[in-house]
Amino acid sequence: EPHSSVPSSVSSLFVDAQILQKQIDELSSFSDTTAPSVTRVLYTEKDVLARRYVKNLMGLAGLSVREDAVGNIFGRWVGQEPELAAVATGSHIDAIPYSGKYDGVVGVLGAIEAINVLKRSGFKPRRSLEVILFTSEEPTRFGISCLGSRLLAGSENLVKALKTITDSQNISFLDAARSAGYAEDDLSSVFLSKGTYSAFIELHIEQGPILEEEGISIGIVTAIAAPASLKVKFEGNGGHAGAVLMPNRNDAGLAAAELALAVEKHVLESGSIDTVGTMGILELHPGAINSIPSKSHLEIDTRDINEERRNQVIEKIHQSAIRIAKTRGVKLSEFHIINQDPPASSAEEVIEAMETATRELNLTSKLMISRAYHDALFMARLSSMGMIFIPCYKGYSHKPEEFASTQDMSNGVKVLALTLAKLSLQ
Ligand code: GLV
Ligand code: MN
Ligand code: MN
Ligand code: MN
């Protein structure tokens, strides 16, 4: 069987980098803000168009395409032993407001190109290979990160939450999903069982500066940091900004400001450079210059590679919120932990396959952790997991200046293709 082993010569792996770059550029045009920024939010018209674009590319690559009830999209190349657990790869194409065109997208379009690379080389997979586009890795619309992969890994609580949750325009998740053509079936139909995949590998830009600074081509991820997010609401009496004197106020905006500073303090108290915290959302009601805020709404993101230390920060934030409410005479009307996820480790055998692939391709590599979260965090609950990082300009991400070179993407796709080939034969 001349075609059923790993491509005997790595020189038979040809990435069409020009086409890949063109696809990255085309996909970025499905955006609700103008270039170079990209804004592509779950189930909007632009998201639906971008999904159609990707499904078309999957079809052109000869993959059989399936979508689940929340719009996770699967493109499968059936292997010679289709009854075996498949090897999967993929990422997301949703983009937070005013972000760039590489986050997530490299791991979707790059995965389809990796399949094309293997097909052109004459490779025949033993285990099936599957490309996955995950729904809503970003929490933008409904506040839930990694919605698609979280659900794939099986969460009854999330199914329940999705039945009542609404976005900031009061559109329900189910209505939004239906408007995009999904949510016909029960959401628990999305769950996958543990034996579905033997391995999952995600290709992604580093979103940090290390690879570029050190001039290294490939990052091999050993673990993904533990993310958590919180929603907090304060309520006070509000009132006229001129008429209510300072001693008579209970300003919900100042309670929020004080909590934002407390988040920074508690994060720094951990003493570790690996602990981070951000208040990325702050909304004041009624939001008028001459009205004392009667309501504030904050959302806080905190992460660490050490879960226990991250949990201590959450507990301290909670205690501060209680204390601030008391001393300022406002009501802490909500303190909700939206998610509090454990970290995930890459599997030895996947790390080994990625390292071997990188070596055979004569590329430099480095073991590293991922401080950003990814769908791989949840796929690790279903199967062995690994991630391939490529350098990005100055480590920029979640802003329009995000950039990865065609050469670096091409290297990443090659490593992904060879790793998939190896794991498909295991
Ligand atoms: C995902 O984009 C993250 O915030 O890590
Ligand atoms: Mn992102
Ligand atoms: Mn991403
Ligand atoms: Mn991410």
pLDDT, one tens digit per residue, over 126-161 is: 999 999 999 999 999 999 999 999 999 999 999 999
Q: What pLDDT band is residue 213 in, cutting at 50, 70 and 90?
A: very high
Mind listing the pLDDT tens digit for each residue in 348-372?
999 999 999 999 999 999 999 999 9
Q: Which atom of ligand 1 is nearest to the CA of 371?
A: 5
For residue 143, the CA-to-ligand 1 centroid distance in Å is 12
Rounded Cα distance between 261 and 334, Å, is: 18
Proportion of the chain above pLDDT 70, given as a percent: 98
For residue 250, the CA-to-ligand 4 centroid distance in Å is 38
57 and 76 belong to one structural domain: yes
- Identify the pLDDT of residue 11: 79
- Identify the pLDDT of residue 7: 67
Query: Ligand 1 within 6 A of 134 CB?
Result: no
Q: What pLDDT band is residue 222 in, cutting at 50, 70 and 90?
A: very high
Proportion of the chain above pLDDT 90, given as a percent: 97
- Identify the pLDDT of residue 4: 53
Average pLDDT along the chain = 97
Is 5 domain-assigned? no
Helical H segments across 296-405, by residue range: 307-328, 348-360, 376-379
- Identify the pLDDT of residue 286: 98
Distances (CA, A) of 149 to 43, 105, 146: 16, 16, 6
Termini Cα distance of the chain: 16
Q: What is the pTM of this model?
A: 0.94
351 and 274 belong to one structural domain: no
Q: Phi and psi for 31 in degrees, rounded to 5?
A: -145, 145
Q: Which ligand has the shortest distance to the CA of 105?
A: 3
Q: What pLDDT band is residue 2 in, cutting at 50, 70 and 90?
A: very low
CATH number of the domain where residue 335 is located: 3.30.70.360
29: number of CA atoms within 13 Å, CB side?
A: 6
Q: ipTM of this model?
A: 0.90
Q: Which residue shows structure tokens 């205690």?
A: 319
Number of Cβ within a 10 Å radius of residue 205: 30
For residue 137, the CA-to-ligand 4 centroid distance in Å is 7
Q: Which ligand has the shortest distance to the CA of 280?
A: 1
- Identify the pLDDT of residue 406: 98
- Identify the pLDDT of residue 125: 96
CB 365 within 8 A of CB 258: no
Question: What domain range includes position 143?
Answer: 10-225+343-425
Is 1 domain-assigned? no
For residue 423, pLDDT over 60 is answered with yes
Q: Which atom of ligand 1 is nearest to the CA of 373?
A: 5
Number of Cβ within a 10 Å radius of residue 355: 17
For residue 380, the CA-to-ligand 4 centroid distance in Å is 15
Mind listing the pLDDT tens digit for each residue in 190-203?
999 999 999 999 99
For residue 333, pLDDT over 70 is answered with yes
CB 142 within 8 A of CB 165: yes
* Structure tokens given for 339: 């998610």
194 and 243 belong to one structural domain: no
- Identify the pLDDT of residue 110: 98
pLDDT, average across residues 231-240: 98
260 and 333 belong to one structural domain: yes
Q: Which atom of ligand 1 is nearest to the CA of 227?
A: 5
The protein residue whose alpha carbon is closest to atom 2 in ligand 1 is 138
Last residue of a domain, one of 320, 340, 360: 340
Rounded Cα distance between 109 and 205, Å, is: 13
295 and 305 belong to one structural domain: yes
Ligand 1 site-directed mutation target among 134, 138, 301, most atoms within 8 Å of CB: 138
Last residue of a domain, one of 340, 369, 388: 340
Query: Ligand 1 within 6 A of 47 CB?
Result: no
- Identify the pLDDT of residue 1: 43
Q: What pLDDT band is residue 8 in, cutting at 50, 70 and 90?
A: low
pLDDT, average across residues 18-27: 98
Q: Which residue shows structure tokens 């329900």?
A: 172
The protein residue whose alpha carbon is closest to atom 5 in ligand 1 is 372
CATH number of the domain where residue 186 is located: 3.40.630.10
Q: What pLDDT band is residue 386 in, cutting at 50, 70 and 90?
A: very high
- Identify the pLDDT of residue 244: 98
CB 227 within 8 A of CB 117: no
Query: Ligand 1 within 6 A of 102 CB?
Result: no
> Identity (one letter) of the amino acid at 101?
K
For residue 54, pLDDT over 90 is answered with yes
For residue 6, pLDDT over 80 is answered with no
108 and 174 belong to one structural domain: yes
94 and 195 belong to one structural domain: yes
Mind listing the pLDDT tens digit for each residue in 87-103?
999 999 999 999 999 99
* Structure tokens given for 327: 């001393």
Please tell me the total count of domains within the chain: 2
Mind listing the pLDDT tens digit for each residue in 243-287?
999 999 999 999 999 999 999 999 999 999 999 999 999 999 999
Query: Ligand 1 within 6 A of 372 CB?
Result: yes
Contacts of 104 (CB under 8 A, 6+ apart): 91, 92, 93, 94, 95, 137, 204
Is 26 domain-assigned? yes
Rounded Cα distance between 332 and 238, Å, is: 15
CB 104 within 8 A of CB 91: yes
Query: Ligand 1 within 6 A of 251 CB?
Result: no
Query: Ligand 1 within 6 A of 138 CB?
Result: yes
* Protein residues near ligand 3, an ion, with CB under 5 A: 103-104
For residue 3, pLDDT over 70 is answered with no
Q: What pLDDT band is residue 5 in, cutting at 50, 70 and 90?
A: low
Query: Ligand 1 within 6 A of 373 CB?
Result: yes
Q: What pLDDT band is residue 10 in, cutting at 50, 70 and 90?
A: confident
Ligand 1 site-directed mutation target among 276, 370, 374, most atoms within 8 Å of CB: 374
197 and 301 belong to one structural domain: no
For residue 298, pLDDT over 50 is answered with yes
54 and 88 belong to one structural domain: yes
pLDDT, average across residues 11-25: 95
313 and 348 belong to one structural domain: no
Rounded Cα distance between 306 and 309, Å, is: 6
For residue 119, the CA-to-ligand 2 centroid distance in Å is 30
> Identity (one letter) of the amino acid at 327?
T
